[in-house]
């Protein structure tokens, strides 16, 4: 899951070397924290949050396949 989000984010931004994804494991849920450069934040979120919502949809579909719940947080 971590590699999937990192791959998508690197394709969207101007500074792909500044993309980092940290995974925080829980009992039933894991949280992926996505950090990008400040000037690329708008590209990852998208207009009215559409790009972020699409990334979360892909993530939930992939995590449902492995029967786990994963949440994406975009950090500033």
pLDDT in tens, 3-60: 999 999 999 999 999 999 999 998 889 999 999 999 999 999 999 999 999 999 999 9
- Residue 66 confidence (pLDDT) above 90: no
Who's near 2: CB < 8 A, 6+ residues apart? 21, 23, 32
pLDDT at 26: 85
Global confidence as pTM? 0.89
Number of domains in the chain: 1
**pLDDT at position 76:** 84
The pLDDT, as a whole number, for residue 27 is: 85
CA distance 46 to 37: 15
* CATH code (residue 65): 3.30.300.20
What is the extent of the structural domain holding 36? 2-75
Considering only CA atoms, which of 50, 10, 35, 23 is closest in space to residue 58?
A: 50
């Amino acid at each position: 899951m971590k590699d999937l989000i990192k791959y998508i984010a690197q394709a969207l931004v101007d500074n792909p070397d500044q993309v980092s994804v940290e995974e925080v494991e829980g009992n039933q849920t894991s949280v992926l924290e996505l950090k990008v450069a400040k000037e690329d934040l708008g590209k990852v979120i998208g207009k009215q949050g559409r790009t972020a919502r699409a990334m979360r949809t892909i993530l939930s579909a992939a995590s449902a396949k492995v029967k786990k719940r994963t949440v994406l947080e975009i950090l500033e």
